[in-house]
Amino acid sequence: MKYISTRGRMEPVGFQDAVMTGLAPDGGLLLPEKLPQVGDRLEEWAQLSYQELAFEIISLFATDIPPADLAELITDSYATFDHAEVAPSVEVGDFQILELFHGPTLAFKDVALQFLGNLFEYILEQRGGKLNILGATSGDTGSAAIHGVRGKPNINIFIMHPAGRTSPLQEKQMTSVLDDNVFNLAVDGTFDDCQNIMKTTFGDVGFKTAHSLGSVNSVNWARVLAQTVYYFYAAFRTMEKTGTKSVQFSVPTGNFGDILAGYLAQRMGLPISKLILATNENDILSRFFNSGTYGMADVVPTLSPSMDIQVASNFERYLYYKVGEDAEKLAAMMDNFNENGSLSVPLNENGAVDDLFVAGRGDTAATLATIKKYHDQYGYVLDPHTAVGVYVAEQFKSEEAPTICLATAHPAKFTQAIIDAIGEAVHHPTLDALANAETRCDSIANDVDAVKEYLVGHIM
């Protein structure tokens, strides 16, 4: 399997190169040259465990990794999860709640980042060389990335967070990881400052190459790929339970990485009748699917911070398919978007952008009310991200196709929102254990040169 760029100006590369490259050199995102069609294997796949299924799916894409090695990578990646099924579904009211928070940081990003960390280390072992990951986080992604690569001999990770502006719990999830290859940097500035430092550092190509800098951002193909697995797994479990021939998924969306994985699963032949895209007040994507226009707006902070985005980094992959896999056309659209901050696609005869997608938004009041409702009626506590997805899903129920709502984080991670909604906190032993944990973190000035100097001094 070869990988191409959505913008078409890159020679096709293999899976390992696609994983190490991240972003394509022409500014586009990587996609497989051709999506495998798996419709005739679904019956057989429905019998598999999560890990066996992951192996079947990923091996179609990772053709340059020997099968025995891939199987081991997958087993190791999901051994850190605290549920035998990895991603179990629970029936709550009219919905199947797909719990994606059984990994080490209690958020769905672990599903991809536990795998990506092992994959990076494997490729480095094969090829020789080191990788120094630099990232900026406002909370969630940083901790999942740190837990994905902690203790790996050929990888160092440097994660910047805005000093004093990350929730104390999220900060502890990062700074309590004491492995020698993990460096937490508290930057005297905002999240935007951290991101600017990162962009400037990566923009210095000489520095980046000399120090083997890399990132783990959500455009990495291996992350999307690892996420397709739970769409298949959950659809099989739900169809078994309900006897239906198709399902719909509701996905709380930020950077469009998670829902993109569902879209690809559908294109590969999984019977998904609808993808329900749910956003909070930062609704660039729900506006797009309802109007055809994708236009930037300012970010507002909400109770679901991992969905507070302005531009969805994985959206370009969807657009590529939307324009009929025409890289020239897509490149022109993206150039236009970068100039004008907006792009449009025509609506179809049903007045929709895409008949597979429906979209809606849930604001702060809806988030709190939904958490309270599911707690009061069913004794189940949704985290604020999941609550947005459930709220929007309520507007799109179907008789023929049961709805699976992706639960992207454990509620114990969002103490204040949960207290505001139901009057009491929810606990999780992993988080409770952090209270007295030892931590390590270095303070650093809001300055690119200071960060570069730190990197050079600490790269081993």
Ligand X SMILES: *Cc1c(COP(=O)(O)O)cnc(C)c1O
Stretch that binds ligand X, among 81-89, 165-173, 247-255, 321-329 (CB under 6 A): 247-255
Stretch that binds ligand X, among 12-20, 205-213, 250-258, 291-299 (CB under 6 A): 250-258
Closest to 219 (Cα-Cα) out of 249, 254, 170: 254
Helix (H) or strand (E) holding 377: helix 364-378
> Got the DSSP string for 179-217?
-TTEEEEEESS-HHHHHHHHHHHHH-HHHHHHTTEE---
Q: Closer to ligand X at the Cβ: 15 or 318? A: 318
Task: Name the minimum Å distance from CB 46 to ligand X.
Answer: 26
When asked if residue 258 is in the footprint of ligand X (CB under 6 A), the reply is: yes
When asked if residue 140 is in the footprint of ligand X (CB under 6 A), the reply is: yes
- Report in angstroms the alpha-carbon separations of 105 from 11, 80, 113, 173, 438: 37, 10, 10, 7, 17
Q: 89 to 108, contacts with ligand X by CB under 6 A?
A: 107-108
Rounded distance, CA 146 to CA 159, Å?
A: 8
Rounded distance, CA 146 to CA 141, Å?
A: 9
Stretch that binds ligand X, among 249-257, 268-276, 394-402, 442-450 (CB under 6 A): 249-257
Q: Closer to ligand X at the Cβ: 13 or 216? A: 216
Please name the residues in contact with 314: beta carbons below 8 A apart, sequence gap of 6 or more: 29, 218, 219, 224, 255, 256, 257, 260
Q: Which of 81, 236, 249, 256 binds ligand X (CB under 6 A)?
A: 256
Q: Closer to ligand X at the Cβ: 122 or 414? A: 414
Stretch that binds ligand X, among 148-156, 256-264, 338-346, 451-459 (CB under 6 A): 256-264
How far does Cα 135 stand from its chain's mean position? 15
Task: Name the minimum Å distance from CB 206 to ligand X.
Answer: 31
Q: 201 to 220, contacts with ligand X by CB under 6 A?
A: 218
**And the tokens for 352?**
């929709």
When asked if residue 385 is in the footprint of ligand X (CB under 6 A), the reply is: yes
When asked if residue 109 is in the footprint of ligand X (CB under 6 A), the reply is: yes
* Helix (H), strand (E) counts: the chain: 19, 15
Given a contact cutoff of 8 angstroms between Cβ atoms, the answer to whether 116 and 219 are in contact is: no
Q: How many residues bind ligand X (CB under 6 A)?
A: 17
When asked if residue 360 is in the footprint of ligand X (CB under 6 A), the reply is: no
Task: Name the minimum Å distance from CB 12 to ligand X.
Answer: 26
Q: Which of 28, 189, 254, 411 binds ligand X (CB under 6 A)?
A: 254
Beta bridge partners of 92: 95
When asked if residue 252 is in the footprint of ligand X (CB under 6 A), the reply is: yes
Q: Closer to ligand X at the Cβ: 118 or 282? A: 282
DSSP tag of 139: S
Q: Which of 132, 170, 248, 408 binds ligand X (CB under 6 A)?
A: 408
10 Å CB burial of residue 157 (0-12, 13-18, 19+) is buried
Q: Which of 5, 138, 255, 302 binds ligand X (CB under 6 A)?
A: 255
Rounded distance, CA 59 to CA 67, Å?
A: 7
Stretch that binds ligand X, among 36-44, 176-184, 252-260, 367-375 (CB under 6 A): 252-260
When asked if residue 177 is in the footprint of ligand X (CB under 6 A), the reply is: no
Q: Closer to ligand X at the Cβ: 95 or 108? A: 108
Q: 279 to 318, contacts with ligand X by CB under 6 A?
A: 306-307
DSSP tag of 351: S
When asked if residue 409 is in the footprint of ligand X (CB under 6 A), the reply is: yes
- Report in angstroms the alpha-carbon separations of 369 from 7, 151, 281, 375, 427: 43, 42, 15, 10, 20
Catalytic site residues? Answer: 109
- Whole-angstrom Cα Rg for the chain: 21
Three-class SS state of 252: strand
Q: Which of 28, 117, 135, 257 binds ligand X (CB under 6 A)?
A: 257
Other residues' Cβ atoms within 10 Å of the Cβ of residue 93: 14
Q: Closer to ligand X at the Cβ: 16 or 218? A: 218
**And the tokens for 94?**
């009219």
Whose structure tokens read 């792009």? 343
When asked if residue 411 is in the footprint of ligand X (CB under 6 A), the reply is: no
Q: 219 to 238, contacts with ligand X by CB under 6 A?
A: none
When asked if residue 359 is in the footprint of ligand X (CB under 6 A), the reply is: no
Task: Name the minimum Å distance from CB 173 to ligand X.
Answer: 12
Whose structure tokens read 């030892």? 438
Q: Closer to ligand X at the Cβ: 109 or 211? A: 109
Chain residues in the site for ligand X (CB under 6 A): 107-109, 140, 218, 252-258, 306-307, 385, 408-409
